[in-house]
Structure 1
Amino acid sequence: MTDLSLNVSRTIKAPIERVYNAWLDPAMLARFMLPGEGMSVPEADTDPRVGGRFSIIMAAGEDKLPHGGEYKELDPHTRIVFTWESPFSADGSTVTINLKEVDAGTHVELTHVTFVNEESRDNHEAGWGAILDKLNEVVL
């Protein structure tokens, strides 16, 4: 396990409140937590409070990939921090989402820390990029 990290950012063409709430709404998560082509989210559940948990089942064909975590910080319309637990994550893996209102909508900066190796980090970087792109499509 290493201290590798990644940063992905996008400007989402939607109000900051809508972007923030999308991360906490299971119906919205099912629409944008899609890190690759042909994937779906048949199950998503959230308990959006500090100490609450979320779970997301990503499906790639017949393969079901469980993801989950615990909300560590929820600063309305500004910041979300959660642990990231998946078959591909390392212990102590954490995601921080910082939101900032900008003229074009909402600037989202996502930071993910702690990966088992560079390949895992690079795969997650591509996945988070695809997820943010999809968020921009569905949050309008």
Structure 2
Amino acid sequence: MSQNEVKEQVLKVLDESKVGTLATVKDNKPYSRYMTYYHEDLVLYTPTSKKTEKTDEIEENPNVHILLGYEGEGYGDTFVEIEGKASIEQSEGYKKKIWNDHMKDWFDGPEDPNLVVLKIEPVGIRLMNNEEDSPQTLDL
């Protein structure tokens, strides 16, 4: 599979899968939780509160790992593994970019001072379970 085809498949998973895991590291131990994701090309964004443990963990160690795409239909479901560097974005531009009405349960609006956006720049992406020669690594 060509790199263009791998990227197309990765983007398809990102388009179709909005919920995935986010793993951080604290004291050499992994911590995972489910998050909602939005993307622009291969860069991922996810909202959170600045009062969460994950923001403290990312400030201490920005290396994260994300799984997106496995829908539980069977062993052959396609998914992506993303290794990334996370940053905590507090500008209203980022907040407005990802704001939707589902977030009203947790935040007062994009101007809520507790709302931050985690921006994840990929450093490694693997496409899993898409063909016989899985995994496929996307060159970045």
Structure-2-length-normalised TM-score: 0.29
The normalised TM-score by structure 1 is 0.29
The structure showing larger relative contact order (alpha-carbon pairs under 8 Å, at least 6 residues apart) is 1
